[in-house]
Structure 1
Amino acid sequence: MQVIDWDLAVATGVRLVRPGPQVSREEARQAVLELRRLSRDAEGHVREFTRIDSATPEAATVVDRPGWIRANVEGFRVVLEPLTQKMSNMPAVVGAVGSRITGLEVGAVLAFLASRVLGQYELFLPPDPSGEAPTGRLTLVAPNIVHAERELGVDPRDFRLWVCLHEETHRVQFTGVPWLREYVRGQMTEFLLASEMDLTTLLERLRAASDAVADAFRGGEGNLIEAIQTPEQKAVLDRVTAVMTLVEGHGDYVMDAVGPSVVPSVAEIRAKFQRRREGGSRMDQLVRRLLGIELKMKQYAEGSHFVRTVVDEAGMESFNKVWTSPETLPDRAEIADPHAWMSRVLASA
């Protein structure tokens, strides 16, 4: 049984997504070629700076907005497979109706995000024809990068390399730290399997979601992700949040630390981009809050501060002990207090 009607999600997302910026065919071709080249350049800079030995990558996959939607649906199907299996005993009519509703909802969310995401490292992909699961794929959304650089009024080459530095850091993390991908996947599977599927609980989750929406409209901090989780899921979500804050903050730290040597206008780009992150209409801010995007913005800041503090005080080699095992990852409290992590992990090393 399908939890989500994926075909409907794709169709809805592609229908609703806004068109990208106006560019000529030659401008589009040049942007794609440059992004692929800069992604390879960025990977070398990131490996040298982080001192993480990762596999030599393929060039980034460059997509348009509908292509990003289709790629993410592929990943969602892989991630949500455990939940699909868990719900296999639900009545068929409930599944059919519910999957179409969630398909429409997922499509609408993807349409919103597809005009904003600059790039991502896709951790979870369908198996290849041999049955092997790919290690991951770096994807860059060319229309959004072009739109952002125009909107910010920054040097296109510098901005494109700056974006590639962040996304390539994620590829280096997940290909250079052998256990990290499966750790994240295991946590996400545990989170999904902690879902409660009985009707009473589902109604309670719906009421909590409605309360979160109302709170967001009033300017509160409510978001749907936290509203619909069970108590068992909260502990798992805390671990997922901690590791994602680390990897996102590490990406932000690296893109700015490497930037001055290879991106001449990095200071201007960072200042303008930060203002862009914090801006948007009231409705845009509302949707970002509901979807947990505002939480992700905090993750960038908190994670970057954690990495910067440890590297500045203990050096890159000591910071890289964070990648030793799941036990050396910081928890959420240690992300906020880097010295607590240093006392626990570095002092015992």
Structure 2
Amino acid sequence: MSDLPFGFAGNDPDRDDDQNKPGEPDRPAGANPFGFNVDPSAFDPSQFGALGADFDPNKLSPEMIGQMFSQLGTMFSAMGTGPVGASAPPVNYELAKQIARQEIGDFTPVLAKETSAVADAVHLAETWLDDASALPSGVTTSVAWTPVQWLEESLPTWATLCDPLARQLSQAWSLGLPAEAAALAGPMMGIMSQLSGSVFGTQLGQGLGTLATEVLTGTDIGLPLAPAGTAVLLPEAIAAFADGLDLPAQEIIVYLAAREAAHVRLFTHVSWLRQRLLSAVEQYASGITVDLSGLTDSLGDGVNPEELMANPGRIEELLGSATAFEPTTTPEQKAALDRLETLLALIEGWVEHVVTRALGDRIPATAALTETMRRRRASGGPAEQTFATLVGLELRPRRVRDATALWDRLLDATDVTVRDRVWDHPDLLPDSADLDAPAAFIDRILTGDDVDPLEALKKVIADEDGAGDAGIHPVDGESDR
């Protein structure tokens, strides 16, 4: 959309898109800040170390050769940094950041008027949300970010999410080695551990680099990636999003600001939610098991350390095989996945429900934008793609629709205060079965009459504690104190 309000400039031909950051050396317009051209999509771990049976050197152009050596040089140079052995992180995050930055490429710097526009849009949305939610405003700061700022600010959270799965997979190949091969390969373990971290760093960098150019807000993927109390909009991505819609740009911006403010409101005042969500992802990933039969087949007669020293490509081939394994989930993991998907759906459904109530009578495009966001999820938007790649998780659109319908029906049967009290404790939240049959959940809420649901839960816990204490008696000679 060519005429974005609130100061969102979009693709302004008069802007310096290659503006250097403070402290960066001058570079020619359009030049890459790293000084080389890399296609991160070529970092396919399954192709590391071998170009495949269909490799035809006659089809390699000088540019392709240059890219290949640049990529390998970047990965191997990254191996020389950071701790080694058991203290080494399972993912090389410096490499991930570098690959992601290259994937982002040139970006439009944020102007002061865009930061001011974000603050105005969030403030207006917050005023309207006050009428639709019993939770008070949670926004203390409103900011406009570039894709690079999103990458830098969100990387610590991604590390929390990715470490368990990366550690599990990076150790899978070594744990699956036959005893004789493991003894022979012992001297190479440190090198292979570092290379494994580089492989995962490359994969993570590719995903985050793409995601950074697509996300519209700080909570677009359903997780709180920005600092607490911070509402984030990304003007460049919003401008591209608006260009594909035949809707007033002003309404698009306020709608997205309302979604972001509603997310921040929920994560700020439901104190347990942020950590529970991140811990659930971590627990799910850490429990994944890996079928090592493919690795055993790829080893053949064993591993020769002399071969590994002389042919680093063999190391890459083994690691590429390890990272390409299909993780297997136990029944416990499937149950954990169901709980996690339900929690994500409840968050997204609540936000959709509250924003619709707050904006529906004020912004004509609300219904159309709500359906657009639903289609964006259904077609594999940023959240689905990222979770599926990094932790094997997909947020099913059907569950979000079901969650939204449950919040709608609960509000119809009660009021805003009772609806939002459900967030007072995780045990009060509906589960997957409640999403399938919300009437039973609503009946449970209604049968409490005027009793606060959290107070009812506290009474149950207190009764259980009292019953346990009744069976404990002081030792002879001691008095109760």
Same fold per TM (> 0.5)? yes
Matching residue within 247, 261, 264 for 1:171: 264
CA gap 1:193/1:312 in 2 versus in 1, 3 angstroms: same
The yes-or-no answer on 1:15 pairing with 2:102 is yes
Instruction: Name the residue aligned to 1:113.
Output: 211
Q: Please point out which of 161, 178, 190 is paired with 2:254.
A: 161
Q: Quick one: percent identity of the two aligned structures?
A: 21
Aligned partner of 1:342: which letter?
I
Q: Which amino acid aligns with 2:103?
A: L
Q: Structure 1 pair 298/6, CA: closer, same or farther in 2 (3 Å)? A: farther
Q: CA deviation at 1:19?
A: 5.3
Q: Does 1:140 align with 2:227?
A: no
Task: State the shift of 1:172 in Å.
Answer: 0.8
Residue pair 2:345, 2:403 contacting (<8 A) in 1 also? yes
Contact 2:129–2:258, Cα closer than 8 Å, also in 1: yes
Deviation at 1:117, TM superposition (A): 1.5
Instruction: Look at both structures and tell me which one has the larger radius of gyration over its CA atoms.
Output: 2
Q: Point out the more displaced range, 191-200 or 104-113.
A: 191-200
Is the CA contact (8 Å cut-off) linking 1:18 and 1:115 kept in structure 2? Answer: no
Aligned equivalents of 1:176 and 1:168: distance in 2?
12
Q: What are the Cα deviations for residues 209-264 of structure 1, in whole angstroms up to 9, with x where unaligned?
A: 9697xxxxxxxxxxxxxx55443322222222111110111111122221134324
Q: Secondary structure at the match of 1:119?
A: coil
Tell me, which stretches of 5 or more residues in structure 1 are unaligned?
126-133, 213-226
1:102 aligns with 2:200: yes
Match in the other structure for 2:152: 70
Deviation at 1:158, TM superposition (A): 1.1
CA shift for structure 1 position 275: 5.2
Question: 1:47 aligns to what?
Answer: 130
Q: Equivalents in 2 of 1:93, 1:207: separation in Å?
A: 17
- The root-mean-square deviation of aligned C-alpha atoms, in Å, is 3.9
Match of 2:426 in 1: 326
**Structure 2 counterpart SS, 1:162:** helix
**Aligned residue number for residue 265 of structure 1:** 365
How many angstroms apart in 2 are the aligned matches of 1:302 and 1:28? Answer: 40
Query: Is 1:92 equivalent to 2:193 in the alignment?
Result: no
Alpha-carbon distance in 2 for matches of 1:276, 1:195: 28
Structure 1 residue 249 and structure 2 residue 332: aligned?
no
Distance 1:244 1:203 in 2: 37
Matches of 2:200 and 2:296, distance apart in 1:
15
Establish whether residue 123 from structure 1 lines up as the match of residue 234 from structure 2. no
* TM superposition score normalised by structure 1: 0.75
Mean Cα deviation higher: 319-328 or 227-236: 227-236
Deviation track 1:139-187 (CA, whole Å, cap 9, x = no partner) reads 2222111111121132222111101111111111111122222322332
**What is the letter of the counterpart of residue 224 of structure 2?**
L
Instruction: Read off the aligned partner of 2:407 and give its amino acid letter.
Output: V
Cα 1:288–1:83 shift into 2, 3 Å: closer
Match of 1:342 in 2: 442
Q: Distance in 2 between matches of 1:202 and 1:43?
A: 54
Q: How does 1:271-290 map to 2 (within 5 A)?
A: 271-274=371-374
Q: Aligned in 2, Cα 1:102/1:334: closer, same or farther, shift over 3 Å?
A: same
Distance (whole Å) between structure 2 residues aligned to residue 245 and residue 51 of structure 1: 20
In 1, distance between residues paired with 2:373 and 2:166? 39
Between the two proteins, the alignment pairs up a number of residues equal to 318
Sort the Cα spacing of 1:272 and 1:191 in 2 relative to 1 into closer, same or farther, 3 A: closer
* 1:33 maps to amino acid: S
Q: Is the 8 A contact 1:39 1:168 kept in 2?
A: yes
What runs of 5+ residues in structure 2 fail to find an aligned partner? 1-87, 175-188, 298-319, 454-481
Secondary structure, counterpart of 1:48 in structure 2? coil
| SS of residue paired to 1:60 | strand
Change (3 A) 1:183 1:269: closer
Q: Residue 395 of structure 2 aligns to a residue in which SS?
A: helix
In the TM superposition, what is the alpha-carbon distance from 1:30 to its structure 2 partner? 3.3
Distance (Å, rounded) in 2 between the aligned partners of 1:67 and 1:104: 19
Structure 1 contact 52–172 (Cα < 8 Å) conserved:
yes
Q: Deviations over 1:100-127 (max 9, x none)?
A: 11111111112232232111336367xx
Whether contact under 8 Å (1:124, 1:136) holds in the other structure is no
Counterparts of 1:222-237 in structure 2 under 5 Å?
228-237=328-337
